[in-house]
Structure 1
Amino acid sequence: MSDSAASALVTYAENAIVEDDAMSSARERAADLGVDAVSPSVGALLSVFAAAGGAKSVVEVGTGAGISGLWLLSGMRPDSVLTTIDSEQEFQAAAKIGFQQAGVAANRTRLINGHALDVLPRLADAAYDLIFIDGDPVDHPRYVIDAVRLLRPGGVVVVNLGDAGYRVPDPDAHDDEAFAAREATRIIAADENLLPVILPLGGGLVAAAKAFVPDE
């Protein structure tokens, strides 16, 4: 496939996704706050993962303005809970507005204001169906290590590489974010209990399902 054809396909994939009014409003708030939000195609994929896995307990690292949270909630079960972590109170306040506008019941979201590196170790092992990592890019490798512990068998972790994803294949890219993206990808690929895939959506995603281990 030529570069132009690939670019046209990416553009088509993004434009094919129609976001509802709550998501559109959340994008406006994200722009006002200077928050990098997931693209519509990435959001739609999160919804698919949540729905396919019947996700009841989900963790999001990096609340942002709530766009990815809205997409996750759209695919999660009606009795599910989204735990979303961010150190920026202003971002979480914006996300809360979006959740309310979308009609999400208050008991379906748990917003934790704090640093994910402090919060994740306090969460229960093997208790979560889906984990979306979209926090501080340089900390992605450490988030991944925690995520593997938190996932139940059959659960899925998704890492948003963001802008660093474009630099991962470049051997001359040695900045901290590119290094962290490569390291997060390496950790996932090296884990025998994970089934990984790299997806060219947004700036690039790494996703992996936690395999079921037979009883010994």
Structure 2
Amino acid sequence: MENIQIRKYRDEDAEAVKEIFTLGMSEHVPSSFMHLLKQPLTQMVLMITFCALLTSSKSFLLPILAVTLLLAASRQFVAYMFNRYIDTSLKKDLNSIGDTYLKQKDSFFWVAESEGQVVGTVACLPAERAPECLELKRMSVRRSHRGMGIAKALCRTVVDFTRERGYPAVVLYTSVVQTDAQKLYEHMGYEKIREFVVPELVAKVMNFTLFEYRFCIKKDGKSD
């Protein structure tokens, strides 16, 4: 991890941080679309549509066209849902990182910098669902700089901060489609303690599962 510096967020990093987050989230659209296609309800709708049109039209062209249009619409819908999440995240905290993370108690935001370019981000703050813990958030690394140990270093930075603040554990949430993130966290010693479906109708239809991970910190300065 040569020439990589992990430092405190500065106001001039704002656009780079938002770009990294937006690009990182957009990468999950294809895998989320494939996840949607694997759901029994989706397959049933596609099959019923195909069979109904095939029976009524006596032609293969119309049902194939209809299913193709349904698939295209589904792909666009998944992209729309991710764009909505990105917009919500920007409004919630990424448009005001200083106020959200740097002016609040036990909160912080770091960036990883390489040759003057921001290439990774991570943050933490007291967890809403587990007030006794800090929550790791906004972990993302530019695709061009992955595989260099930056994400692991960012994870360790959050753990060190949590230990210094006297919290017993770090928690985080990731989704079923973020398989690389799951592997990273498990490799770093995080334990999956819960999984649940986002309580929205669309998420339930997609069976879009979230995983809660926890990293416990021992009082002697080591981690479980």
TM superposition score category, shorter chain reference: 0.3 to 0.5
Query: Normalising by structure 2, what TM-score?
Result: 0.32
Query: Normalising by structure 1, what TM-score?
Result: 0.32
**Which protein, 1 or 2, shows the higher relative CO under an 8 Å CA cutoff with sep ≥ 6?**
2
Rg bigger for which structure?
A: 2
